[in-house]
Amino acid sequence: MTSLSVIVPVKDEEGSLPQLYKELSSTLKKISAPYEIIFIDDGSEDKSGKILSELKKKDTRIKIITFRGNFGKSAALSAGFEKAKYSTIVTLDADLQDDPHEIVRLLKKLSQGYDLVGGWRKNRIDPLSKKISSFFFNKGTVFISGVKLHDFNCGLKVFNKTVADSLHLHGELHRFLPILAAKMRFKVAEIEVIHRPRRFGKSKFGFERSWRGMIDLLTTIFITDYATKPAHFFGRIGFILFLSGICMDGYVTYLKITTGSTQDKIPLLLAGILFTLLGVQLISTGLIAEMLAHYLLHNDPAIKKYKK
Ligand code: UDP
Ligand code: MG
C-alpha cells in the first residue's frame, strides 16, 4: 500500500494557501493512504508563514520547514525530500495552478510500474511569452537530453522515494528532475493534467529566467552523463582541436621545407598554434576533472545509488 509525502514549496502564496489546503486534503482523504503534507516556506515575506502555522494547529499531518530566506524552489524541494518519511513523494505548486485532484491519476500511472510520473500541461494557462519560452525550452531539452517528454517543469509530479534519495537538486535543477531520474535509469512517464490560471499573487519565474534554463540543461547533462567520466567530454573536444592544430602547423612546416615561403600562411600558422594550445588545455582540464571525480566517487556513496 502506498503512503504519501506531499511536498509543497511556498514563496509568497498567502492568497492560495487556504484553498490549496482544502482541495489537497480532500483529495488525499479520498485516496485513503497514510499521508503527510510538508510545506516549505522559502523565505515568504507575506502572511504565508502565519497561515501555514494556523493550518498546522488544525492538522497534525502538516509539517513545516521554514527557510531563513529565499533559497529557491530546488532547495525547497530538496529539504522536503529529506524530511519525507513515506514511500511515495508527491510534489505540487502552492499557487493552485496544479489541480490536486490529478494526484489520483498520476498515482494510478505510477502503480503501472513507473518510478516517476510527471504532469503534462497540454493546455497551459500562462502568459504567451512564458508559453513560447517554455515551448523552446522543452523541445531543446528533448533534443539535447534524449528524454522524450513534453513538459519537464510541471510542478505536479509523483515518484518513488528512491528517486528522491538518489538525486541532489541544487540551483534551479528542479526543472530537470525527470531527466535526472531518467539518466539514473529510473522509469519515467508523463500524463496530461489540467492546468489552471494563477488567481493570487504573481509568478516567480518569468521570461527573463529562461536563458538560465539552457545553462542548467548543460549542467544536468554534465552531472549525469559525464560526472563519472569528465575526461570523455573535455578529451573529445581537446583531441579534435589538438589534432587540427597539429595538422595546420604541420602543413605550414611542410610548405616551408618544400617551397621555402610561408608568407601568406601566417594566419593558418597562428590558428594552428591556438588550436594546439587549446587542445592541450582541454585535455588537461579533463584529466584534472577525472582526478577529482575519482577522489569524490571514492568517498561519496553516490555509486551505491545505482542499485535497484
Ligand atoms: N517557489 C518557491 N521558491 C521560489 C520560487 C517559487 O518555493 O524561489 C514556489 C512557488 O511558491 C510555487 C512554485 O514554487 O509554489 C512555482 O512557482 P511559480 O508558480 O511562481 O512558477 P510558475 O508556475 O510561474 O512557473
Ligand atoms: Mg505557477
In angstroms, what is the span from residue 203 Cα to ligand 1's centroid? 6
CA of 260 to the centre of ligand 1 (A): 68
| Protein residues with CB under 6 Å of any ligand 1 atom | 9-11, 13, 42, 70, 72-73, 76, 93-95, 97, 155, 203-205
Would you state the pLDDT for residue 302?
60
Tell me which residue of 217, 204, 208, 209 sits closest to 155, measured CA to CA: 204
- Dihedral of the CA atoms 90, 96, 97, 101 (nearest 10)? 50
Residue 211, classified by CB atoms within 10 Å of its CB into exposed (0-12), middle (13-18) or buried (19+), is exposed
In the block, residue with C-alpha cell 581537446: 238
The residue type found at 52 is: L
Report how far residue 154's alpha carbon sits from residue 100's, in angstroms, rounded to the nearest whole number: 13
Residue to mutate, 205, 207, 209, ligand 1, most ligand atoms under 8 Å from C-beta = 205
Q: What protein residues have CB closer than 5 angstroms to ion ligand 2?
A: 93, 95, 97
Rounded distance from Cα 10 to ligand 1 centre (Å): 7
Looking at residue 31, its pLDDT comes to 92
Considering only CA atoms, give the Rg of the chain. Answer: 25
CA dist., res. 179 & res. 221, Å (int): 9
How far is the C-alpha of 259 from the C-alpha of 197, rounded, in Å? 74
Q: Specify which residues 40 forms β-bridges with.
A: 9, 65
Kindly state the greatest CA–CA separation across the chain: 91
Looking at residue 208, its pLDDT comes to: 67
Cα 219 to middle of ligand 1, angstroms: 21
Ligand 1 atom closest to the CA of 40, numbered from 1:
7
- Block mean pLDDT (10 aa), the chain, length 308: 93 95 94 95 95 96 96 94 96 94 96 95 87 87 90 94 89 89 93 91 76 84 86 95 97 93 90 98 96 82 67
Q: Which of ligand 1's atoms lies nearest the C-alpha of 198?
A: 19
> Which ligand lies nearest the alpha carbon of 210?
1
> What is the predicted pLDDT for the residue at 123?
87
Q: Which atom of ligand 1 is nearest to the CA of 204?
A: 20
Residue in 231, 232, 219, 240 with CA at minimum distance from that of residue 288: 231
**pLDDT computed for residue 304 by the predictor:** 67
